[in-house]
Amino acid sequence: MRRRKSIANKADNASLLEIAPDGTLQFLWEDAFAPMLELGESTLCRASHVEPQGTEWVADLSPVGGPRLGAFPLRNDALSAERDWLQHYGFGRRVSSPSQNDTT
């Protein structure tokens, strides 16, 4: 069973950090977490891609089995949707998700 712990970052937004029973850490990358890479063996994996589509932006969560979110008028909107989805449905592993075209 995984235990979840929220850690506040400098912008006072919650960051999700998962600690497995074996001590393995999983988290959405924040530069503030960079020192953790020196604590032991580390592997970085891409969970998604935020890319332009015409004049709008989409968040493609297919690397973790997620949907394609958007299109959004601003890149920051796509980044926010990406982060929200990853925090809600999981990250760093393939997950079950709602419809592949979900925009919420």
DSSP 21-44: TTS-EEE---GGGGGGGGGS----
pLDDT digits (tens, 9 = 90+) for 37-70: 888 888 888 889 999 999 999 999 998 889 999 9
Give CA–CA dist 32/10, Å, rounded. Answer: 8
Tell me which residue of 1, 8, 5, 16 sits closest to 84, measured CA to CA. Answer: 16
Residue percentage of the chain with pLDDT more than 90: 33
Comparing 20-29, 57-66, 76-85, 89-98, the range with the smallest average pLDDT is: 89-98
Provide the pLDDT for residue 18.
Answer: 78
Mean pLDDT estimate for the chain: 77
